[in-house]
Copies of this chain bind each other. A is one copy, B any other.
């Protein structure tokens, strides 16, 4: 009766996820003096006491949109659901401490299936040293859904936002990119093979790193500590969940800066390169748009270069420019290509 009574017809996909959040929350005002940072970063920041701030992040994972149980074992799904949230906490330069876990499951899932899911949640909570302190459990009319909220703490003034990048800062990324997306391609291919011949035995060995990055990602727990050891405080930071291009654009938009990203500096695993060749895909495009790598992307002052240059965990992939210079990829051939968001967009999946 109600939801269709007017003639409105703007599709939510038209705005995209970030546009939609911006649009829906534009009237929201902050009134509590304890709210240090509201909507618009990897996590909200709340004042705790004179020494400490609280960091809060939340994510929703839906079957058929964010995961496919035909190749994602439930235990891995539980593990990944936790990792996705912890990654946001590390991206604030904070230490996660607690999570709440809410699930909705249809009666297709027996208790034993949920036990598997929770075993994955427990394994991640144990490894990352966080407590599961609450949640909600309910039935759904269809499918499985997981909503996790992560809480962490950071020393007052040490939280790193998306908005602090300045011209000439260096753009740095941890680990390597594109593997989780290529892992997904491998699993999708095996699913098709399985449909045709359920007895086929897939040989995933040549793709082991890719599949692991997709099915059992890890959050960069080590990076906030590493940065402390190196005595470097990033000027801005974000985690790579939607793809490098999307995250660079977030930092540039929040920080009101431009950026030059160098194609030849983007860290790629050899399996990503060989599998991209096999699939006839451009590995740079995959790194830019693949997503789900859960690496950290950050900027540091140029004078911090000596502190980070030789670190095996870190790759310097570009530098920050004035806003009016725009956001560009500098290709191997030296051409300047504008970067536009092509990250994986959960809002377009069911259109």
Q: Which residues of B contact A23 (CB under 8 A)?
A: 111, 115
Task: Say whether B59 contacts A140, CB under 8 Å.
Answer: no
A160 within 8 A of B: no
Interface status of A135 (Cβ within 8 A of chain B)? yes
**Pair B139/A141 contact, Cβ less than 8 Å:** no
* Min C-beta distance of A137 to chain B, whole Å: 5
B98 touches A3 (CB 8 A): no
Does A312 interact with chain B (Cβ within 8 Å)?
Answer: no
- Whether the pair B8, A138 counts as a contact (CB closer than 8 A) is no
CB distance from A307 to the nearest CB of B (A): 31
Question: Contact at A135–B21, with CB atoms within 8 Å?
Answer: yes
A25 within 8 A of B: yes
Contacts of A11 in B (CB 8 A): 107, 110-111
Name the B residues within 8 Å of A17 (CB-CB): 137-138
Distance between Cα atoms of A54 and B65 in the complex (Å): 33
CA distance A52 to B155 in the complex (A): 17
How many residues on the A side are at the interface (Cβ–Cβ under 8 A)? Answer: 103
User: Chain A: interface secondary structure?
Assistant: mixed
Q: Is A58 part of the binding interface, using a Cβ–Cβ cutoff of 8 Å?
A: yes
CB distance from A43 to the nearest CB of B (A): 7
Which stretch from A70-78, A245-253, A298-306, A328-336 is at the chain B interface?
A70-78
**A1 within 8 A of partner (CB):** yes
Q: A3 to B108, Cβ gap below 8 A?
A: yes
Are A62 and B140 touching (Cβ within 8 A)?
Answer: yes
Q: Is the CB of B141 within 8 A of A98?
A: no
A151 contacts B107, C-beta separation under 8 Å: no
Whether A9 sits at the interface, judged by CB under 8 Å, is yes
Contacts of A281 in B (CB 8 A): none
Also in contact, A134 and B347, with CB within 8 A (given A6-B112, A15-B111, A145-B104): no
Task: Say yes or no: is A167 at the interface (Cβ < 8 Å to chain B).
Answer: no
CB atoms of B60 and A12 under 8 A apart: no
For A113, the closest partner residue in chain B by CB is: B3
A129 contacts chain B at the CB level, 8 A cutoff = yes
- Stretch in A34-42, A168-176, A229-237 touching the partner: A34-42
Contact of A142 among B3, B130, B142 (CB under 8 A): B142
- Interchain nearest-CB distance for A57 vs B (Å): 7
CB distance from A32 to the nearest CB of B (A): 5
B2 touches A38 (CB 8 A): no
Question: Which residues from chain B contact A140 at a C-beta distance below 8 Å?
Answer: 62, 65, 350
**Closest residue on chain B to residue A17 by CB atoms:** B137
CB contacts (< 8 Å) of A349 on chain B: these are 139
Q: Beyond A136-B58, A139-B65, is A107–B49 a contact (Cβ under 8 Å)?
A: no
Report the Cα distance A130→B27, complex, angstroms. 14
Tell me whether B350 and A107 are in contact (CB under 8 A).
yes
What chain B residues lie within 8 Å of A108 (beta carbons)?
A: 3
27 CB < 8 A contacts A-B: A2-B70, A3-B74, A4-B113, A9-B112, A11-B111, A12-B109, A12-B110, A17-B137, A17-B138, A20-B137, A24-B137, A29-B131, A31-B129, A32-B98, A34-B97, A38-B131, A39-B132, A46-B98, A48-B52, A58-B147, A58-B149, A60-B102, A60-B147, A64-B141, A65-B104, A102-B147, A139-B346
For the complex of A and B, list the 10 residue pairs with the smallest distance between their C-beta atoms, beginning with the closest.
A8-B112, A49-B49, A44-B133, A10-B111, A147-B147, A44-B134, A64-B141, A38-B133, A149-B149, A138-B346
